Amino acid sequence: MQKRTLGQHLEVSAVGLGCMSMTSAYGPAADKGEMIKLMRAAHDKGVTFFDTAEAYGPFANEELVGEALQPIREQVVIATKFGFDIDPETGKRGPGTNSRPEHIKAAADACLKRLQTDHIDLFYQHRVDPNVPIEDVAGAVKELIAEGKVKHFGLSEAGVQTIRRAHAVQPITAVQSEYSLFWRDPEKELLPTLGELGIGFVPFSPLGAGFLTGQIDENTKFDPSDFRNHVPRFSPEARKANMVLVHAVKAAAERKGVTPAQFALAWLLAQKPWIVPIPGTTKLGRLEENLGAVNAELSKSDVAQINETASKLPLEGERLPEAALKMTGL
């Protein structure tokens, strides 16, 4: 497995593993024992970068990741996130964000216990808190780093001015946001800013929440608990309209002799050397397919061709429900 460096010093596998879907978001939680096997299999295949959050479950995902990775803890990098208002006793999540410094520190201690570790490799603010200055957030994480509880600071779904202000207080190692051939907005301001500041980028939903794999069309039925039921871009009408992109990716993948998923991930890897996508899966076959993307090197002409094709396609639907979009700092 190839390695990449986020920020100045955090070396990780070129493709990580997003663990959210193992316990929530895309339907019922998967079998715990199978997910533990899957994470350990990922490590056997060279994955060293695992992504979770206190909000996934809440808490259940961190507990799962902690148990799975405990025997190989020193060989992996664990990223988790804070910033939502979650009752530590019940796990009930409130409607808003909470990045008050005292809450961040309490959340860190709770994350450490669930992850069965003495340090968090990469600690992201999950969503920007409009009620807490980002300088205070960065300052709180800086103190956690000084205590040895956290190694690196990250932001998720943050705008460029927020990133600059936070970075001035505590250098940011990585920013996480949605990015794929299905959502290219980060190319406008975010990627140039990260390149200027020397910050790594971790795209979530690098396969467009599954859409770019070619396994979803307007007739696909999602489990009632699947978040895509509430995403405008995944309405049957939008899916039907957006199949033009899937067809373009399939054609490009066939020319390279790879799968659509591998092509979509290889496209991300070709954008910048400091981009590390974190596709999620609950299936070993999909994991192996995704990791194959590191060997599907795209030429400049391959990238230019799909960029030109995709840029002409009018995609329909917002990438998140309205309430979720309001919680981003973008």
From the list 26, 56, 124, 179, the catalytic residue is: 56
3-state SS, one letter per residue, for the chain:
CCEEEECCCEEEECCCEECHHHCCCECCCCCHHHHHHHHHHHHHCCCCEEECCCCCCCCHHHHHHHHHHHHHHHHCEEEEEECEEECCCCCCEEEEECCCHHHHHHHHHHHHHHCCCCCEEEEEECCCCCCCCHHHHHHHHHHHHHCCCEEEEEEECCCHHHHHHHHHHCCEEEEEEECECCECHHHCCHHHHHHHHCCEEEEECCCCCCHHHCCCCCCCCCCCCEHHHHCHHHCHHHHHHHHHHHHHHHHHHHHHCCCHHHHHHHHHHHHCCCECCCCECCCHHHHHHHHHHHHCCCCHHHHHHHHHHHHCCCCCCCCCCHHHHHCCCC
56 is catalytic: yes
Residues known to be catalytic: 56
